[in-house]
Amino acid sequence: MINAITHNLNVLGSVTTSSLSAWRGCLVVRQVPQPAKPLVLFDIEACPYCRRVREALTALHLDVEIRPCPKGGRKFRSQAEALGGKQQFPLLSDENTGTVMYESTDIVDYLFQTYAKRPVPKYYRSKVYQPALGSLASAASVMRGLWASPAKAVGQPLHLWSFEGSPYSRLVRERLCELEVPYTLHNLGKEHWTEVGPAKQRLKPGPYTPIPGGKRDEFFQIHKRVQVPYLEDPNTGERLFESARILKYLNSQYGN
């Protein structure tokens, strides 16, 4: 009972984080083709600047390899420093163009220009008040996903289907970051206004039918529903929906 209450309180905090972030990273601006080689993001989930990059990735429906670099982390911070020269986050590596870059504003501009062939939409442009709101958004989630936690070794990277604005998905990403578990982030943003709302009660009444040919349709054909977060662990064969179940699994399998 206590665990359920705590989880629900964390969900409310995560909803506040999404609200303070103006719910960016929910709707897809333009679905672009996945690049030949995966993008790699050295990331801190609680960092407001990293959040801006993840919002843009959702807006473009781009998948990305996440290398969690929480404060006190020992798994990927040195790798990031060797690649870029310093431990500063976010750090994006794109082998498709030979690009390694810091600074969230520059990365967001790069992603839209390179993969959508367009300027950054007004909704995703940097604004003077964003750092303050971004910090408040992180505080609303009690800075989960900022500090490393003791964890067991991980074999293959996990796979997480998510979108940045999803409050439930954020709880899972926070824990993955704290445990320094690498994972492929499969962005599954909402492709049309009729998809706005929780998975079981969208704005449009009646049975849910995703846009044919999109990433959500592909997911729907396999699982007969579109709901995030969804986690697959190739190390154990575990496949899970529901944030509470996923968190319980991560703590049991990788917590120390």
In tens, the pLDDT along 31-41 reads 999 999 999 99
Q: Which of 83, 14, 24, 76 is nearest to 244 (CA)?
A: 14
Let me know: does 71 contact 148? Beta carbons within 8 Å: yes
Q: How do the domains of the chain map onto residue ranges?
A: 2-188+228-254
Let me know: does 89 contact 47? Beta carbons within 8 Å: yes
Q: For 71, what's the count of Cα atoms within 13 Å in the CB-facing half-sphere?
A: 7
Q: Which CATH superfamily is domain 2-188+228-254 in?
A: Glutaredoxin (3.40.30.10)
In tens, the pLDDT along 21-63 reads 999 999 999 999 999 999 999 999 999 999 999 999 999 999 9
In tens, the pLDDT along 220-243 reads 999 999 999 999 999 999 999 999
pLDDT at 137: 86
